[in-house]
């Protein structure tokens, strides 16, 4: 009977070990499910924050583009104004130059330099306020 008792003792020991293993597996499964649910919640939180950040960055980009377009328009208006101002100054210089040339022609006997003679022979030349300047306006 000793052998039967020993066999029974081994059988009981194996049964207890099986129960301990089942209990540990249940705990591990429970822990695994808990980890899965926490990681899913974290993933959802990260995705939500990413989407919020993406929306904010897209809005910032739209605002920046709008400001750059407004700045471009302001620069173009300023450039057009400068071109018009320069055109007006050029026309004033032409008028003054033509008046000076007329004064030179009306005052005979004065000494005329070589540059003035060359300018007189060339006619209105490059100092004529023409429509070529208007193409920039």
Tell me: the pLDDT tens digits for 76-95?
999 999 999 999 999 999 99
Which whole number is the average pLDDT over 49-58?
Answer: 98
Residues 6 or more apart whose CB falls under 8 angstroms from that of 94 comprise 127, 128, 129
pLDDT at position 114 over 90: no
Distance, in Å, from the CA atom of 27 to the CA atom of 38, rounded to the nearest integer, reads: 16
- The answer to whether 127 and 93 have CB atoms below 8 angstroms apart is yes
Report the sign of the C-alpha dihedral through residues 67, 72, 75, 80, in that order.
Answer: negative
pLDDT at 134 over 50: no
- Cα(43)–Cα(125) distance, integer angstroms: 77
pLDDT for residue 119 is more than 80: no
Range name among 19-23, 31-35, 46-50, 109-113 with the lowest pLDDT average: 109-113
pLDDT of res. 135 = 44
Q: Using an 8 Å Cβ cutoff, are 94 and 129 in contact?
A: yes
Question: Residue 124 phi/psi, 5° resolution?
Answer: -60, -35
Alpha carbon 46 to chain centroid, angstroms:
26
Confidence check: pLDDT of 69 > 60: yes
pLDDT of 129 reads: 55
Q: Is 1 helix (H, G, I), strand (E, B) or coil?
A: coil
Domain tally, the chain: 1
Mean pLDDT value across the chain: 86
pLDDT above 80 for 122: no
Enclosing domain of residue 54: 2-134
Q: Report yes or no: 90 and 132 within 8 Å, Cβ to Cβ.
A: no
């Amino acid at each position: 009977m000793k052998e039967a008792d020993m066999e029974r003792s081994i059988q009981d020991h194996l049964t207890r070990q099986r129960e301990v293993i089942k209990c540990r597996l249940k705990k591990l499964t429970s822990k695994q499910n808990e980890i899965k649910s926490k990681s899913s919640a974290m993933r959802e939180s990260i995705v939500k924050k990413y989407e919020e950040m993406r929306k904010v960055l897209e809005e910032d980009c739209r605002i920046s583009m709008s400001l750059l377009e407004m700045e471009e328009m302001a620069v173009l208006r300023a450039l057009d104004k400068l071109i018009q101002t320069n055109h007006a100054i050029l026309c004033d210089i032409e008028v003054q130059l033509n008046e000076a040339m007329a004064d030179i022609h009306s005052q005979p006997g004065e000494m005329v330099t070589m540059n003035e003679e060359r300018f007189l022979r060339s006619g209105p030349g490059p100092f004529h306020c023409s429509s070529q300047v208007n193409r920039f306006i």
